[in-house]
Amino acid sequence: MSAPEAVIFDAYGTLLDIDAAMAAHAERLGERWPLLSAEWRAKQLEYTWVRSLTGAAHHEDFWLCTRDALDFVLARHGIRDAALARDLMQAYRVLPPYPEVPAMLRTVREQGIGTAILSNGTPGMLADALAHAGLAPLIDEVLSVEEVGVFKPDPRVYRLATRQYGCPPDRLVFVSANAWDAQAAHAFNMRVVRVKRAEAPDEYGLAAAELPVLRDLSGLQDLIA
């Protein structure tokens, strides 16, 4: 892989550990917390897709989608604890990075390659998360879907990156742990690297696309050097 103009990262689930919010309150949630975390994530994404598909009049930012998704999951499981809900939302606001992320970002920047985030998150969410995680000095640009008022995987979101860097999509590397996100970036003609932290079946024909796959982000700098 030749060196790109920049590496564009998804944030949630790629750089930031989305299970950490529930894990931080595992004692209060009990042994089912991993199930609750997975359901929260699934419902959060479902809400973004439905709001995108039903039009701009129904757009609600990612923070509100996240809150609505949590309310649904807690209600579904009969958990009626307003203090717990508040604490979970606060924990989601300051998710930690995966362990290898800071060193990887430093190395990428040392190679003279730009770093950016392209995320469903609001600017405020991303600013809080990056500051808490200590990643803010390692990210050159933070691009939020709020600039276009529609969520991934709409092509207008990925166009934010090409507009920012003033280059064709194939001069950018997009990195995501979400298969649907990887598929959308690939369809937009970006060079895509997938992160698969756990084994999962092929989706969206991505295996046939022969995209590079990493088990974590520690090897990314060698892949793009």
Run of H or E including 128: helix 123-133
Q: Give the residue numbers marked as catalytic.
A: 10
Instruction: Say what the pLDDT of residue 39 is.
Output: 98
The three-state secondary structure class of 99 is coil
Tell me the C-alpha distance between 221 and 225, whole Å: 6
pTM, two decimals, is 0.96
Q: Hey, what are 79's tokens?
A: 């958990």
Instruction: Say what the pLDDT of residue 3 is.
Output: 82
Tell me the C-alpha distance between 178 and 184, whole Å: 10
Q: Which residues pair with 9 in a beta bridge?
A: 117, 175
Tell me the C-alpha distance between 216 and 60, whole Å: 31
Tell me the C-alpha distance between 140 and 137, whole Å: 8
Phi, psi dihedrals of residue 105, rounded to the nearest 5°? -65, -40
**Could you read off the pLDDT tens digit of each residue along the chain, which spans 225 residues?**
678 999 999 999 999 999 999 999 999 999 999 999 999 999 999 999 999 999 999 999 999 999 999 999 999 999 999 999 999 999 999 999 999 999 999 999 999 999 999 999 999 999 999 999 999 999 999 999 999 999 999 999 999 999 999 999 999 999 999 999 999 999 999 999 999 999 999 999 999 999 999 999 999 999 987
Residues 6+ apart with CB under 8 A from 101: 15, 133, 135, 217
Nearest partner of 191 among 43, 53, 3, judged by Cα: 3
Tell me the C-alpha distance between 105 and 16, whole Å: 13
